[in-house]
Amino acid sequence: MALAQPAAKKDDDREDDAEYSPFYGIEKGAVLQEARVFNDSQLDARRCAQVITKLLYLINQGETFTKMEATEVFFSVTKLFQSKDIGLRRMVYLVIKEISPSSDEVIIVTSSLMKDMNSKTDLYRANAIRVLCRITEGGLLGQIERYLKQAVVDKNPVVSSAALVSGIHLLQTNVDIVKRWSNEVQEAVQSKAPLVQFHALALLHQIRQNDRLAVSKLVSSLTRGSVRSPLAQCLLIRYTSQVIAESAPNTQTGDRPYYDYLEGCLRHKNEMVIFEAARAVTELKDVTSRELTPAITVLQLFLSSSKPVLRFAAVRTLNKVAMTHPLAVTNCNIDIESLIADQNRSIATLAITTLLKTGNESSVDRLMKQITNFMSDIADEFKIVVVEAIRSLCLKFPQKYRSLMNFLSNILREEGGFDYKKAIVDTILILIREIPEAKEGGLSHLCEFIEDCEFTYLSTQILHLLGKEGPKTVDPSKYIRYIYNRVILENATVRASAVSALAKFGVVVESLRPRILVLLRRCLFDTDDEVRDRATLYLNLLGNGPENVSESAQSLIFERLDVPLANLEASLQSYEPSERPFDVAAVSTEVKPQPFTEKKAPTSKKAGKDTNQKATANGGGLPGHKTSDSYERLLNSIPEFAGFGKLFKSSPIAELTEAETEYSVNVIKHIYSGHVVFQFNCTNTIAEYLLENVTVVMEAIDAEDFGEVVSKPLVSMPYGAPGKVFVAFQKPEGACSLAKFANTLRFYVKAVDPSTGESEEEGYEDEYQLEDSEVTAADYILKIGVSNFRNAWESLDPDSERVDEYGLGVRENLQEAVRAVSTILGMQPCEATEVVPPNARSHTCLLSGKFLGGVQVLVRLSVGIEAQKQVAMKLMVRSEDPAVSDIIHEIIANA
pLDDT tens for 380-423 read: 777 787 787 777 777 777 777 787 788 888 878 778 888 888 88
Banded model confidence at residue 548, pLDDT cuts 50, 70, 90: low
User: Which has the minimum average pLDDT: 63-67, 357-361, 633-637?
Assistant: 357-361
Distances (CA, A) of 600 to 65, 260, 302, 414, 832: 14, 51, 49, 41, 11
Of 709, 729, 820, nearest in space to 775 by CA: 729
The answer for residues whose C-beta is within 8 angstroms of residue 339's C-beta and 6 or more apart is 303, 311, 315, 347, 348, 350, 351
Report yes or no on whether pTM surpasses 0.75: no
How much is the pLDDT for 595?
Answer: 41
Q: How confident is the model at residue 16, as a pLDDT? A: 46
Greater model confidence, 757 or 878: 878
Q: Which of 657, 723, 663, 660 is nearest to 693 (CA)?
A: 723
Q: Give, in order, the Cα–Cα distances in Å from 410 to each of 88, 126, 385, 674.
A: 58, 58, 17, 61
Q: What pLDDT does residue 199 have?
A: 92
Segments in 714-868 forming alpha helices (H): 789-795, 814-825
Q: What is the mean pLDDT of residues 30-50?
A: 87
Task: Look at 90-94, 110-114, 347-351, 627-631 and tell me which has the smallest mean pLDDT.
Answer: 627-631
CA-CA distance, 264 to 266, in Å (whole number)? 5
What angle do helix axes 364-374 and 345-358 make, rounded to 10 degrees?
Answer: 160
**Mean per-residue pLDDT over the chain, rounded:** 81
Per-residue pLDDT averaged across 794-818, rounded?
Answer: 85
User: pLDDT tens digits for 435-447?
Assistant: 888 888 888 888 8
How many other CB atoms sit within 10 Å of the CB of residue 129? 28
User: Taken in order 172, 177, 178, 182, is the CA torsion positive or negative?
Assistant: positive
- Judge whether residue 589 has pLDDT over 70: no
How far apart, in whole angstroms, are the C-alpha atoms of residue 176 and residue 9? 64
Handedness of CA 61, 64, 69, 74 (dihedral sign): positive
**What sign has the CA pseudo-torsion 93, 95, 98, 99?**
negative
* Cα–Cα dist 320/322, whole Å: 5
* pLDDT above 90: residue 728: yes
Cα dihedral 112, 113, 115, 117, rounded to 10, equals 170
In 3D, which of 191, 214, 317 has the Cα closest to residue 266?
Answer: 317
pLDDT of 597 reads: 37
Instruction: Please state, as a whole number, how many other Cβ atoms lie within 10 Å of the Cβ of residue 616.
Output: 18
pLDDT in tens, 100-116: 777 667 777 777 888 88
Are the beta carbons of 486 and 494 closer than 8 angstroms?
A: yes
Percent of all residues in the chain with a pLDDT value above 90, rounded to a whole number = 11
Q: Do 630 and 570 touch, CB atoms closer than 8 A? A: yes
* Pair 775, 701: CB distance under 8 Å: no
Of 68, 61, 51, 129, nearest in space to 102 by CA: 68
pLDDT in tens, 251-292: 555 577 788 888 889 988 999 999 999 999 998 888 888 888
Mean pLDDT of 735-739: 86
Residue 199, amino acid: H
List the Cα angle 188/193/196 in 5-degree steps: 45
The angle at the Cα of 139, spanning 133 to 143, to the nearest 5 degrees, equals 75
CA-CA distances (angstroms) from residue 593 to 596, 646, 671, 870? 9, 10, 18, 49
Q: Are 635 and 670 in contact (CB under 8 A)?
A: yes
Residues in Cβ contact with 618 at an 8 Å cutoff, skipping those fewer than 6 apart: 624, 649, 650, 651, 652, 782, 783, 826
On whether the CB atoms of residues 224 and 211 are closer than 8 A, the answer is no
pLDDT at 778 over 70: yes
Rounded Cα–Cα distance for residues 867 and 422 (Å): 70
**Does residue 97 sit in helix, strand or coil?**
helix
pLDDT of 355: 81
Strand, coil or helix: what is 209?
coil
- 3-state class of 147 per DSSP? helix
What's the rounded mean pLDDT across residues 45-66? 87
Higher pLDDT, 729 or 580: 729
843, 814 Cβ separation under 8 angstroms: yes
pLDDT band at 250; cut points 50, 70, 90:
low
CA–CA–CA angle 91, 93, 99 (5° rounding): 100
pLDDT digits (tens, 9 = 90+) for 315-336: 999 988 888 888 888 888 888 8
- Asked which of 99-113, 447-461, 548-562, 698-712 is least confident by mean pLDDT, the reply is 548-562
pLDDT at 8: 44
Spans of all domains in the chain: 476-560, 638-775, 778-894
> Does residue 675 contact residue 729 with C-beta atoms inside 8 Å?
yes
Task: Give the C-alpha separation, 151 to 129, whole Å.
Answer: 9
pLDDT beyond 50 at 622: no
Least confident of 190-199, 518-527, 738-747, 759-768: 759-768
Domain 476-560 fold:
Leucine-rich Repeat Variant (1.25.10)
pLDDT of residue 10: 43
Q: 638-775: which CATH topology?
A: Immunoglobulin-like (2.60.40)
Confidence of residue 591 (pLDDT cuts 50, 70, 90): low
Q: Are 541 and 556 in contact (CB under 8 A)?
A: yes
The per-residue pLDDT for 14 is 46
Give the model's pLDDT for residue 507: 83
What sign does the CA torsion over 658, 659, 663, 669 have?
Answer: positive
Q: What are phi and psi of 578, to 5 degrees?
A: -160, -175
| Distance between CA atoms of residues 391 and 471, nearest Å | 26
Which pLDDT does position 628 carry in this prediction? Answer: 65
For position 624, what pLDDT does the model report? 36
- Distance, in Å, from the CA atom of 851 to the CA atom of 641, rounded to the nearest integer, reads 22
User: Which residues are 727's β-sheet partners?
Assistant: 678, 711
Pair 213, 225: CB distance under 8 Å = no
Provide the percentage of residues in the chain whose pLDDT is more than 70.
Answer: 87
- As beta bridge partners, residue 746 has 695, 767
Spell out the CATH class of 778-894.
Answer: alpha beta
pLDDT value at 574 more than 90: no
Tell me the pLDDT tens digit for each residue of 455-498.
888 899 899 889 888 888 888 888 898 898 888 888 899 999 99
